[in-house]
Structures are given as C-alpha cells and as structure tokens.
Amino acid sequence: MLGRILGERYELEEKIGSGGMAIVYKAKCHLLRRHVAVKILRPELVEDENFVTRFKRESLAAASLSHPNIVNIYDVGEENGIYYIVMEYIRGKTLKEYIKEKRKLEWEEAVRIALQICSALKHAHKNGIVHRDIKPQNILVSEDGTIKVADFGIARAVSSATVTVAGANVMGSVHYFSPEQARGGYVDAKSDLYSLGIVLYEMVTGSVPFEGDTAISVALKHIQEQAKPPCELNPDIPRSLNDVIEKSTEKEQSKRYQTAGEMLKDLQRVLREPEGSFVIRNIDSDLPTQVLEPVKTDGNPNAKPVGKKRSVWLKLVLFILPMVLLFMLISYLGKQIYNNHFVSEDVEVPQLIGLYEDEATRILHERNLTLSVLERKHSEEDEGRIIYQDPAEGIKIKPYSIVKVIVSLGPETVAVPNVIGFTQREAEIAIENAGLKLGQPEYIDSDLPKGTVVRQSIEPDTEVVDGTEIVLVISKGPKIELVEVGEYIGLREDIARQLIENENLSVGKVTREYNDEYNEGLVFKQNPNYADTVEKGTKVDLWVSLGPMPMYPKILEIQLPDYQEHEDEEQSGEDIMVRVTVKKADNNQSVYDRMHSVAEGVVNVELKDRGVIKYNIYIDDVLVNEITVDFIKKEGAS
C-alpha cells in the first residue's frame, strides 16, 4: 500500500500501527499539504459484511465528536473496496509506550492524564457514545503533553441500553475489560470508567491488576477476583487516589462512578486533597455479628445496679451532654461563617472552543475567571475564534484562575498565481503548489492553442484563503467550421482558385503535368475530392494540365565496331555483318533489330515515343551501351 494515493490526495508514506480491525498509515495530504493518519480496514476483512458495517459505524461515531482530548476525524472514504478513515496525525507516543519508558508515573502526573481522558469520555458519553476499548494503546501522548483518546473502533452510538450478545466476539484488550464485557452482558458508560480505573492503576503501579496465561483466565479474574489495592504496590499513592481507583474498578456497575463527571470531580479533588476521605463508597449494610461484653450481676441473676453508682453516672452525663451540644453548636456556626465568608466554591470551566475572544472573555469574567491567550495561529476557523482551551470544558477550578486559550488567525492566505497561457497540466501543478484547490475546469473555443489556459476564476495576485477553489478555463482550440468541397476539375486554374476562396477554403499545392485528356490550363485532378466535408480553411491541392505531352522523334547514332584491322587474309575484301538491337530498358521491348555491315561505320536509328525513355543497345546480343532519350525536348538524342 505504501506510495498509493487514496481519494486523489492522501499518499501513504509509512505504516505506523495496526490492530485487529485495521492498519494505520502516516500519509501526506497533497491538497492541504499536511500529514494525516489513515486507518484502512484489513484486506482480509473487507468481504465480511459485519466488519465493514462496524468500520462504517466507527467512522460515523468518531466523526460526530469534537473535543481537544479526542483525535479529530477529517475524512471517510471507500475506493476500490478499500475502506479508510483520515484522522489527525499526532506526533508523540502511546500511553503504553510512555508507561514502559518510566515503569510507573508519579501520581500527580497520572491524575492529570486521567483528568484529560475522563474529560474526553464525558464528552463522548454526553453524545451517546461508549468507547468500549479504553486502554493505554488507544491513548496518545503528544509532544506537548496533550492527551488524545483514539480508536473508537468498537464504539457504538447508544440511544438506549447496549447489550453484547453472549457468545459474540469479545472486543477490546482483555487486561482492561470490565466484568460485564467479559461476561457478555450489559455495557454502558460505566464500563469505560472501569477500564479507565485499570489504566490509572497501571500508571501508578507499573502493572495491570490481573495477569494470566490466556485471555480467558484474565477475563475470569476480572469477574471473580478482587484486585490488590494499588497502595500496597506503591505506598506513595495518596489515600484519595487509592479510593478513586478502587471505586472505579468495582465489580458491580452500581457501585462504581455513575458518570464521567462524577469521576472527574473526584480526580480534581485528589490534586487538592491527596489524603482526603471524600470518595463515597457503597458499603453493604449487613454488618458482621459483634461480640458484646456480658453484664456483671455479682452472681445474682436478679440483682440490680447499685443506686449510688447510677446517680454518679447520671450526674456525669448531665454535665457532659450540655458541653458536647454546646461544642457542636459552636463548631457548626464557625464552619458556616468560614464557608460563607472565607471559602469560595470551585467554578466549572465553560466551553470556549468556537467562541470569539471577546465573547469568551465576557463569559469567564462573569464566572470570576481570567482569559490568557497562549498563542495565535492560522486555522480553518474564522479569525478571532478560540480553537483550544486549557483546562478543558467541565473541569472545576478555583475562582480567579486563568484559562489559557489559542486564538485562530483565520485560514492562511496565499497569492493566486498567474497561469493564463500555461498548458492545463502546468497550470494545475502551479495551483496545487500554491496550496489552492482545483475546481472542475471549463472548456471553450478560443484562438489559443488547444489545452491552453484562457482565463482563471480568480484574478492573479489576489490574496485568498489557503485551499480556495480555482476554476480554470481551457481552450478547445479555434472553433471548427465544416464546409463542402466543390468540383474544380475541368475548370481553368484562375476560375478554380476563385471558387476555392469563395467557399472558405485555400489553394494548396499546384502541380502542372502533361495530360492528353485536358487542354492546357485546365484542372484535371484535385485533393480533397468533390463533395468531401472538411474544416474551414483547408488547403485544396490542384493538378493543372500542360496539354498533351509533346513527341519529338530522335535519331540515335550507333557506332559499329571496327573489325577491319583484325580480319585475316582469307576474309580480306569481304564485309563483316553484325546484328544491331535496341530495346526499352523497362520492359525489354525491342524497337529496332537489323543486320549491318561493319563497313557502314555508323547506324542511324529513328526513335519515336513520349516522355523520357531509357534504352539498351546490343551488338550481336552483347550490351554495349545504355542511353536515356527525352522526346519532349526538340534537340537530338543523347
């Protein structure tokens, strides 16, 4: 899959993780020029409709959430049977890796991490989504320390009770199972809080509470066994944190925290009151039987206490009881005065993300809180809107505390490049390199060459938001007009030329040749032919007659060989005869064939023909010469 581009924009660069359902890749978004994480459903699961359905459900569930401690979902798609989700790419490591590096975390750091996870779960539960797979492997620690909950791979939107059918595949990692998940029973938001309690247990102790050789054995321990208190493994854990962990990991759902908001409040108090006893535990009302001391009667079962002793005790009670009541009254009044005049209640941080800076300042001022801008940076949000806050929404803090925010500068602007006159491909590359988006191109007739940019939807050098769509108008070339070719054969050349121009055509190559059928100056051939349909302005080639080809007879002088010097005495005085033959070279046709005496010296042969002809001359069937005769010229043969 590496190097593949999905959705025509996401180029897969590196495999960064995998799970039971999907493989995660680091990818480059060529449109927005940023890195993203792309989760792809495993190929072997694509044919399974149940897995595909669950994968689609994850997309919808996760895309509905927007929270600073939840990984953002950017896009969802399917291409040639490949189902994928495009998510925010977090630079950092998983909480599991972080715990392994440190072996165990300081309890304050663990609580702060748990606060962010709990805030994310509160948001998800508020939107009717149960994560069902909270574990350190699904929690990311970014480079700036922000916690991000990821992989809602088995989250499902719940509008009523969610029940896992017994015998179905159990999801998630068994070490962080809630007992009801292990049993295949009722699963709700409290199941996520149990898993968070196990994660918190591991952060402060360095180990999970239940281990086993098989997944089944670990699941059974979640159902049957009580975990060892974390304070026994790490004595540095304060009492309140130990209580929070034990309450969140109760076997019975009714004894745990009922909402993420409840757990969030107790975690906040842990930081303020480490040794406090504020965590309310559900303790059974059936108290064990107690052994009471017997009443002494000095051996007489009917004996009664001595009156003197009774009076002493009565006086003592009458003296102490008013003192105790007076002390309780003074304590109560003192506490009320202190609380009313010296103690201020914690303030819940409101939702600021999405608000404009001045509006957020006003809302915080009404709650006796102060706004502090950490930085201003470009984003897809409008300028002045808040895109990040710390602490997160719902967390309670002291009055007059500072809430830190990041304010958007609005989308980053870029200058539109001038691509008029570029080829379509050159223009598209220039637009994409500028960080702009290409719209659907338009095509028009134009005098510019085909494929050339005629104009663009936004003027060059205009400052626009990064990612703005640019529509290119592309030339289809000059508009094609078709005309029918007339008949010019048999016409004089000047008339044919005039007709060609009148019919929006042009005269092409003119060839002049001899022709026995047409008189000199008349057209005897044309291309294109009569009635052909051609583009306007097409060139028409003409062939003009020079009249019949002229024929000028030629006298061919053939020099006979001289045999007189070599004749013997017996042949003296007698003529030696030779055979003279003239043939056409192209077809070997004989045009002259006679016997001659060598005494003649020269033989004159008259030749009549047309054009330029090549002849072969033979003496006694021996080729003695090759000549070319031009019958068009008036001069003699060569």
Amino acid 311: pLDDT: 66
Angle between helices 95-102 and 189-205 (to 10 degrees): 20
Q: How many residues does the chain have?
A: 638
More confident residue, 360 or 287: 360
pLDDT-based confidence at residue 345 (cuts at 50, 70, 90): confident
What distance in Å separates the CA atoms of residue 16 and residue 12, rounded to the nearest whole number? Answer: 11
41: amino acid identity, one letter = L
Averaged pLDDT of the chain? 84
Amino acid 338: pLDDT: 59
The tens digit of pLDDT for each residue in 164-208 reads 333 333 334 789 989 988 887 778 899 999 999 999 999 999 999
Q: Say if residue 158's pLDDT is above 60.
A: no
Q: What angle do CA 144, 148, 153 make, to 5 degrees?
A: 155
The tens digit of pLDDT for each residue in 76-106 reads 888 888 888 898 899 889 999 999 999 999 9
Q: Single out the residue of 152, 155, 14 nearest to residue 87, CA to CA.
A: 152
- Whether the ω angle into residue 528 lies within 30 degrees of 0, i.e. cis, is yes
pLDDT-based confidence at residue 377 (cuts at 50, 70, 90): confident
Amino acid 72: pLDDT: 87
Q: Which of 133, 151, 188, 266 is catalytic?
A: 133
Amino acid 310: pLDDT: 61
Q: Say if residue 364's pLDDT is above 90.
A: yes
Beta strand ranges found along 206-324 (DSSP E): none
Q: Say if residue 569's pLDDT is above 60.
A: no
Q: Single out the residue of 5, 174, 29 nearest to residue 87, CA to CA.
A: 29
Amino acid 340: pLDDT: 55
In what side-by-side order are the strands of the sheet with 472-475?
442-444, 472-475, 453-456
What distance in Å separates the CA atoms of residue 546 and residue 518, rounded to the nearest whole number? Answer: 8
Residues 6+ apart with CB under 8 A from 310: none
CB distance 542 to 505 below 8 Å: no
234: amino acid identity, one letter = N
How many Cα atoms occupy the beta-carbon half-sphere of 312 within 13 Å?
5
The tens digit of pLDDT for each residue in 487-518 reads 999 999 999 999 999 999 999 999 999 998 99
| 133 a catalytic residue | yes
- The answer to which of 10-24, 40-54, 58-72, 341-355 has the lowest mean pLDDT is 40-54
Amino acid 42: pLDDT: 78
* All structural domains of the chain: 5-88 (3.30.200.20), 94-272 (1.10.510.10), 347-389+399-408 (3.30.10.20), 413-475 (3.30.10.20), 482-545 (3.30.10.20), 554-630 (2.60.40)
What distance in Å separates the CA atoms of residue 150 and residue 139, rounded to the nearest whole number? Answer: 6
The tens digit of pLDDT for each residue in 223-248 reads 888 889 999 999 999 999 999 999 99
